[in-house]
Chains A and B, each alone.
Chain A
Amino acid sequence: MVKRVLPVTNRLGIHARPAGMIVDITTHAKSDVQIHYGDLRANAKSILNVMMLAAEPGSEVTFVIEGEDEERVADELQKLFENRFNED
């Protein structure tokens, strides 16, 4: 199991487009991927779930990934967050 805490640094937070980019990664993953935000927890393979968290800029989300490609998925997600969802 891999746990990855990622800061939300893009300007608009996790709105529809970033959520879509996250789901692009998670739905192609063989691993199970959960996203935690505050007390909320959701299946990160559902764009609606991810959108419903409405993670705000300046906050943090935690991914909990379990499965054969967990490391790769965690790295891809981290890269996506670091690149601020290509927003700039």
Chain B
Amino acid sequence: METEAGRTRILLRGLPVSAGYAIGKVRFVHRKPQSDVVQTIPEERVPYEISLFEKAHARSLREVELLRSQMSETISAQDASIFRTHIQILQDPKIAEDVPKLILEEHLTAASAVYKVTHELSLFFEKIASGDKARDIDDIADRLMGNLSEETQALNAPVLDEECVIVAHNVTPSLLAGADTSKILALATDTGGATSHVAILARSLRIPAVVGLNRVSLVARDGDTIVLDGVEGDVVVNPTEDEVELYRQRRRRWIERQSDIVARSKTSRPETLDGKYVPMLANVELPEETANALELGAEGVGLLRSEFLFFRGAIPSEEEQFQAYRLALESAYPNPVTIRTVDTGGDKLVKGLSLSDEPNPVMGWRSIRVCLDEPAMFRTQLRALLRASVYGRLKVMFPMICGYDELTRAKAMLEEVRAELERERIPVAESVEVGMMVEVPSAVMQIKSLVGEVDFLSIGTNDLIQFTLAVDRSNEKVKDLYRAHHPGVLRLVNMVCDAAHDEGITVSVCGEMASDMLSMVLLVGLGVDELSLIPARIAGNKAFLRSLTYSEMRECALECLKMKTADEIDALLLSRYAERAAEFGAPAAPRKAPAAGADGAKRER
């Protein structure tokens, strides 16, 4: 059968791994050609080739590190571990040491040495059990090669200037992560299975995908029309007009169902049926995500983690920080952006700012403690923040405050820096709100003496729960004791809200409890004024909030405050709200321990 354009219609059936429908033009993505010609060099070029490899290696590590932090917001901790594995492989002596050794001993070019090492590994892994391992190696090899050569560097991620269906022999995780995913309508690959990296990533990114098509990359050409059914697993290259029409309808119905909630989120106010307004803001990791968060209905950024700048290797300069903060502030304006000063330590290690060998890092030298001990680094960040303040509505927030003295010392430094900038005649916004994270029980116990010192409070529920219940969630043996709805936790939240309202300041929650619908009922009911959530959860939570009254949430929270166990509280919430929450897309998980996301993802080891 032939279509009008004369191209042959081909029907393929594969494994549907990410639901949805797509009709679009094929965009064929090649693996970059590898230099399989082994090139040798004169001896005097050896040091140059080694330094070339070292630079490409360092750059590759940084890239994967950055991808990991970018992806941790959109995909689960389990899925993000792909990037962790890639980092470990890059750091493996078989690559980090063997490649320079080959250059030195066999006088190979850096590219040839990388090819030789990775090709052998890849062949090995292709022979044994899972093809996924070979793909990991290929992916790493591609990245190293790309960084080795200036020309191919731009090819690291395909530039997608129009919407397309990506067709490939296989799609590596970093290819997907580096590309402008909003342009990708669907993915079709020759290889892969239900648990392959591509499948997991496609699902997390909500891109329909069919894998295991065997020869789609051979039959589809750039520009061909293709329809893809991520529900049944059918893929038609050069479909008939009737087929195109059929899939258009299916796609339309599918999208209507899926996007209804999101669409409503953009234009609707986060307000209960009885008129209580609860602003919903976004937690973001990178300033670049701000615009997207607003698209999803966020009214600003409730938590910008400034650590992202510090994971790139060296401690960032004032200018680098200033540009990043300015971007976030400008993208969000006129909405506010709360930037948390650097919260290193615990599990988030930064070179030069972390001790690698702490017996109990979560309670160790981290966060505000590091900042107060390293005033030069802290001042640089405060200067960058205040300089950026004139470009939007900045709110500065200090993490891990345990008591009055830490808070006042941090504030004093901020004031010193402000005076310094004024002396230098550098403009600073007149009002910059200053707040603190409430995540340590001692801060809650003396909250009355702290509220007078700040303009707002933000409860970091993840740390507050782990410190209050003395539970390390990454410890298998005790992780079930981590209960967000423990009566002790609810009382602490209640104390914070009462003290803040007596002082006339607002309380926000930026931990993952804010993203969980049933927890949200409790938080709002206890008096939390504002929520900061994972961008992807804003639409659903907003729709859910709009179906509730504040008075019922208040009543429910007060009832829960009287209860003696987390089980009772969970049971009440489930019986009253689980069904309704599910309508708005709440994950139908048992409520013993809320699913990890946002902050929680990073605490996994």
Contacts and interface: CB of A to CB of B under 8 A. Distances in A.
Given A16-B132, A24-B605, A48 B85 contact: no
User: Chain A at the B interface: mostly helix, strand, loop or mixed?
Assistant: helix
B129 A83 contact: no
Nearest to A88: B476
Given A20-B81, A20-B85, A47 B129 contact: no
B121 interface: yes
Contact of A83 (B89, B130, B476): B476
Interface size classification for chain A: 20 to 34
A16 B82 CA distance: 8
A21 to B, nearest CB: 8
B125 A52 contact: yes
Given A20-B81, A52-B125, A47 B476 contact: no
Interface in A52-83: 52, 54, 56, 83
A51 interface: yes
B467 to A, nearest CB: 22
A49 interface: yes
Contacts of A45: 93
B124 interface: yes
Interface in B85-109: 85, 88-89, 92-95
Interface in A14-69: 15-17, 19-20, 23-24, 28, 43, 45-49, 51-52, 54, 56
Contact of A47 (B81, B88, B128): B88
Most chain A CB within a 10 A radius of its CB, from B92, B95, B130, B132: B92
A-B pairs with lowest CB-CB distance, top 8: A47-B88, A48-B94, A54-B128, A83-B476, A16-B85, A48-B92, A20-B85, A20-B88
Contacts of A13: 129
Contacts of B357: 28
Most chain B CB within a 10 A radius of its CB, from A15, A45, A48, A52: A48
Most chain B CB within a 10 A radius of its CB, from A17, A46, A51, A83: A51
B121 A47 contact: no
A19 B81 CA distance: 12
A45 to B, nearest CB: 8
Contact of A46 (B81, B84, B93): B93
B599 interface: no
Given A16-B136, A24-B605, A86-B476, A48 B89 contact: yes
Nearest to B137: A48
A16 B173 CA distance: 14
A56 B129 CA distance: 9
Contacts of B85: 16-17, 19-20, 47
B133 interface: yes
A3 to B, nearest CB: 24
A78 to B, nearest CB: 13
A83 B136 CA distance: 25
Nearest to A17: B81
22 contacts: A15-B132, A16-B132, A16-B136, A17-B81, A20-B81, A20-B84, A20-B85, A24-B605, A28-B357, A46-B92, A47-B88, A47-B92, A48-B89, A48-B94, A48-B95, A49-B94, A51-B133, A52-B121, A52-B128, A54-B128, A54-B129, A83-B476
B130 A15 contact: yes
Given A17-B81, A83-B476, A86-B476, A48 B129 contact: no
Contacts of A56: 129
